[in-house]
Amino acid sequence: MKIALVQADLTFEDREANLPRYRKLAKRAAAEGARLVLFPEMFATGFSMAPERTAEPASGPTVEFLGEQAASLGVYLAGSMPFDRGDGGRATNRFVCAAPDGSLTTYDKIHPFSYGGEDLHYAAGDQRTTFQIDGVRLTPFICYDLRFADAFWVEAERTDCYLVVANWPAARQEHWSTLLRARAIENQAYVVGVNRVGEGGGISYAGGSAVIGPFGEVVAEAGSEEQLVLAEVEPGRVAEVRARYPFLVDRSPQRTEEAAVRAVQALG
């Protein structure tokens, strides 16, 4: 499956300016054969700590945009947004993936970025999500989640590819690239990380979007400018690495023998 990472700049807290920009980029990605088009965290607003201005319901313009473009282009589109749950409580930072048939897959960020005050404005999610596109098992996470290895570990056996959408600051760019590779190596899975570039809310962003393979190899990587990155994700490669190097089975002794058999069987 071909995935497109849309590494782009945006106008802070200006949805009306940003969505047309991402519409053009989505069209370009689809024309280049992408099956899944991945946008950064809060791609329509930037990493805003003002959900009272930016949060929207499931019927809002960002979800509508994703759904319309997915149907029109015949591809899956995903990114995160400030989401108003409509219950009077705090908003969540919600990953949304829209399918061409109109269905949605969502995940609410489990680890709000307390260092930046996100936890004061957004509630933490409490459920992980794994879904499939064309037989590829995908587990989404959002930015700061990348620092918490245990959240990735528990989903490893069900996951071929982790999706990480982010607004990761340039000041900690080395952490971003190192953690993407670490999560791929320790889980023997693809890790696809898409970051933004430019300035927003007083913070600088340096991109570095990347696709890391299940053996830790860099499949594709962006620089610090606006860029569309395309790469193939192959679940067979995940099965091959896990069968040849059955490291995951040692993470949980209770399932060592059973998991080893499954890994070999996955090779067919």
Reported CATH class of domain 2-233:
alpha beta
- What are the start and end residues of each CATH 3.60.110.10 domain in the chain? 2-233
Q: Determine which helix (DSSP H) or strand (DSSP E) holds 121, and give its type and residue range.
A: helix 118-121
Q: Does residue 230 come out as left (phi exceeding 0), alpha (psi in the -120 to 50 range) or beta?
A: beta
pLDDT at position 254, please?
46
Rounded to an integer, what distance in angstroms lies between the CA atom of residue 60 and that of residue 264?
Answer: 46
Radius of gyration of the chain (CA): 18
Q: Do strands 136-142 and 92-98 pair parallel, antiparallel, or not at all (unpaired)?
A: unpaired
User: How far is CA 239 from each of CA 36, 90, 116, 153, 187, rounded to the nearest angstrom?
Assistant: 21, 40, 38, 16, 12
pLDDT at position 256, please?
43
Average pLDDT over residues 70-89: 96
Residue 259, pLDDT > 60, answer no
C-beta of residue 194 within 8 angstroms of C-beta of residue 5: yes
For the stretch 108-161, pLDDT in tens is 999 999 999 999 999 999 999 999 999 999 999 999 999 999 999 999 999 999
Active-site annotation, residues: 41, 109, 143
pTM over 0.85: yes
